[in-house]
Amino acid sequence: MQIELTANQKKELESRHKKERDRRIADRIKFILLYSEGWTQVDISQALRICPETVHDHLKDLANSQKLKPENGGSQSRLTEEQTIAFVKHLEIHTYTKVSDIYRTGYLIMRLC
């Protein structure tokens, strides 16, 4: 599979890469840019410090759906809609430095609502 990018597409991807905070998405963007420049899958895996199978998976994902974001899923929320809204409002007002404090606050909100 050959990836052909227009100058605008390349510029857009480079801009998005600079702004991207999720390293996995940034790696996928770098993969697309490098592959479009003619790099081999092995060279890309070495440059990005990822295994060759991951590079192959990125290429397959791109061919199938042109996706950049990994779809790992995540867990189901244990909070109701009402509890989630209350928790988000609380976090917008209060700042915590430890995850354990946030967890405790969420647990208390879950018990109170």
Query: What is the domain extent for residue 92?
Result: 81-110
Distance CA(108)–CA(112), nearest Å, equals 6
pLDDT single digits (tens) 37-86: 999 999 999 999 989 898 888 888 777 766 555 555 567 888 888 888 88
Are 52 and 11 members of one domain?
A: yes
pLDDT single digits (tens) 12-46: 999 999 999 988 889 889 988 999 999 999 999 99
Q: Note the pTM of the prediction, 2 decimals.
A: 0.55
- Buried b vs exposed e over 57-78: b needs ≥16 C-beta within 10 Å? ebbebbeeeeebeeeeeeeeee
- In the chain, the number of structural domains is 2
Tell me, yes or no, whether 2 lies in a domain: no
Q: How far is CA 28 from CA 20, 46, 88, 113, in A?
A: 11, 14, 31, 41
Are 55 and 12 members of one domain?
A: yes
Tell me, yes or no, whether 70 lies in a domain: no
Confidence of residue 101 (pLDDT cuts 50, 70, 90): confident
CA proximity to 52, closest of 33, 31, 71, 37? 31
More confident residue, 86 or 113: 86
The two tokens of residue 107 are: 């647990």
